Structure 1
């Protein structure tokens, strides 16, 4: 099975629960049996069952597509954030032909960011859902870019899983603050580039406020940046800039350093600290994620995955499509040899003369006999398994699925295509269909009895 992270295992379990809730129970006999034989507590078995079903039905592949789409959506949003930040810088400073109103520039650079930051912080305290619009945009883009029909329940399942531990607010916090951090960094870099390549003069203008007000505001805003080494215009510079842009290099540099420092301290650093804080809460909160076993979809699995008689168990489901057979018993101790036949008619004598070391599992001709044998094999897998088939029958999907399921229960498997009874001939085209189907399953086959191989492990 595909190696997934603990979060992805929980995510797929929730996805399969939603799918069964909306579309009805899945054929899960083999999945349940594998989960029971693997052992562990109920959540572990539920996750193993879900992973097996997701592998079979395509949800695991869809998850990979969804994650690729999510990364592409994140790149798109990041590019938009960088472009938006650069646009803020251009809007704030202009082309250098006219003096820059420092407080108008500051409002252009920080106004929307600070308003949305305050809105996010208040929402985090009182509702916990701030950033949902941006989160929904990201999820929508992720789904569109994934382009996989099996991904329909992935986004709802992830939201439900995260909401139980209120992790969605921190995931959204990382997204929102991370994108705004990119925008502010882009604005900061573009401001530095523009100031390095153009000559800007700085003024402040007002009709109703006095000069002392701007002096106090400038010094108050520059106090924190000054601790980091950014210069603050002197009182004389601030007052003189109220009449016209000072054509003095030291004044231009002081205003430029003040503007960059304020942007860094009040624009970049808050978003950086909040993004790191949300990331820390997200990382630590993942350890508390778990399945809600009280949900009907999980509660119904308790008896199937942990029967009352043994509090162990697993169930089984025939695959919808044939896969390359790989033994699933590597972690179990396999021993002995077994011969089993599938749907033989009464005209053929069975079983053949077997060595003492080879056991006969009889003929599987009913649903009950199949389930009984598969349950036994899940507990006591054979080292060698020979499956006898009558090639006069067509290799239908059910027979091939059963052969694949039996093969997964043994360390090594061979298929015995029986000879036709005396007086009959095998249909060459049908025999060819058997060969093609078994080659697709990657199972060795022959038309002679593999009794020596069953007994000794060698031909």
Structure 2
């Protein structure tokens, strides 16, 4: 097993796996980590680097990195399935709004079919974002649930909670899930707009408005109010006479048809697609900005306990050098009583040099002389 972390892991992946290991130890108890701790201490560095290195070594040993890859594959499949659902939903909304062209289209019923669900979910997202702190909504939770189910890996059970925990450090969960939610609705409204254009280009539709209790002036004012912003982008808007004439089922003016079609396309684009596009780009910007600032939260109790094992105040090193064959013992040498023979003496000899050397029997050792008294 190699100790170096995989080069394909991003900074977010490394923090994600570190948090997954922490949650796993929190629920199942401490892991066998003696070797991981030893390798981390040998690696050296700051405490956050040591904790991350230890977690990645354990994740590789226990298969969490493979589980992460499986979870990602499941997340991609879940995202693809939701994207297909969004495309078919948008096309279905446009088809339900216009019908088959056999009957005149009630413009405000059509507008409600095209924008009603989109605006309601957008309002729910805004309320959750500002009041409850739940920015993912049903679609975000559905995506996480599908990702876990499609991963089909029992080791991935802690990955989704670990991801949310990491992202909550800088409240990034709202931006990631918001990016997914608005991106899906952007696909849905784009599909609805394209289907709407295709139907208007290939079928002949008449547009009317009907009411029982409201007056004609209410529809004229509402139509002009909704068409103000689209008209700034070049979309047509029926004039007052055309709006009033559309209140009768007998209306069949070609110019009125084109004006109502342009008005309907412009309103869907401005009030349906553009808000989702702007929110998608905003969430993407906040997500990228916050992701670059992610750090390991060393204030968590589990990480504070790891400090003692990864950065101990003292460490037993063991034997660093082999013992010499003979130890140097300073002394005054042998007491000489005179007589014949040679005498060997060392003056201020370095302690790394062995003393005395092997001597024949006729040579006497006078020892190592280090100070004035010994030399005297």
TM-score bracket, shorter-length normalisation: 0.7 to 0.9
CA displacement at 1:117 relative to structure 2: 0.6
| 1:399-438 correspondence to structure 2 within 5 Å | none
Give secondary structure in 1 for the equivalent of 2:81.
helix
Matching of residue 306 in structure 1 with residue 311 in structure 2: yes
Return the alpha-carbon distance in structure 1 between the equivalents of residues 138 and 47 of structure 2.
36
In structure 1, stretches of 5+ residues that fail to align are: 311-367, 377-459
CA displacement at 1:286 relative to structure 2: 1.2
RMSD between superposed Cα atoms in Å: 1.7
119, 123, 128: which one pairs with 2:128? 123
Counterpart in the other structure of 2:274: 269
Return the alpha-carbon distance in structure 2 between the equivalents of residues 245 and 302 of structure 1.
82
Q: Deviations over 1:52-90 (max 9, x none)?
A: 111110000000110010011000011001111111011
Matching of residue 2 in structure 1 with residue 6 in structure 2: yes
210, 235, 241: which one pairs with 1:236? 241
CA displacement at 1:173 relative to structure 2: 0.8
Contact map agreement 2:209 2:247 (CA 8 A) in 1: yes
CA displacement at 1:287 relative to structure 2: 2.5
Matching of residue 248 in structure 1 with residue 253 in structure 2: yes
Contact map agreement 2:125 2:137 (CA 8 A) in 1: no
Going from structure 1 to structure 2, the CA distance change for 1:106 and 1:245 (only over 3 Å counts) comes to farther
Counterpart in the other structure of 2:64: 59
Counterpart in the other structure of 2:157: 152
Q: Deviations over 1:378-413 (max 9, x none)?
A: xxxxxxxxxxxxxxxxxxxxxxxxxxxxxxxxxxxx
Contact map agreement 1:233 1:254 (CA 8 A) in 2: yes
Return the alpha-carbon distance in structure 2 between the equivalents of residues 123 and 146 of structure 1.
29
Going from structure 1 to structure 2, the CA distance change for 1:53 and 1:172 (only over 3 Å counts) comes to same
Contact map agreement 2:135 2:175 (CA 8 A) in 1: no
Give secondary structure in 1 for the equivalent of 2:17.
helix
Quick check: which has more Rg, 1 or 2? 2
Return the alpha-carbon distance in structure 1 between the equivalents of residues 88 and 192 of structure 2.
9
Contact map agreement 1:202 1:245 (CA 8 A) in 2: no
Matching of residue 44 in structure 1 with residue 22 in structure 2: no
Q: Which moved more, 1:240-249 or 1:72-81?
A: 240-249
Counterpart in the other structure of 1:201: 206
Going from structure 1 to structure 2, the CA distance change for 1:36 and 1:264 (only over 3 Å counts) comes to same
Counterpart in the other structure of 1:93: 98
Give secondary structure in 2 for the equivalent of 1:300.
helix
**TM-score normalised by the chain length of structure 1:** 0.67
**TM-score normalised by the chain length of structure 2:** 0.81
CA displacement at 1:292 relative to structure 2: 2.0
31, 40, 44: which one pairs with 1:35? 40
Q: Deviations over 1:179-216 (max 9, x none)?
A: 11111011001101111111100000011111111111
Structure number having the greater helix percentage: 2
Give secondary structure in 2 for the equivalent of 1:145.
helix
**How many matched pairs?**
315
186, 195, 202: which one pairs with 1:190? 195
Counterpart in the other structure of 2:346: none
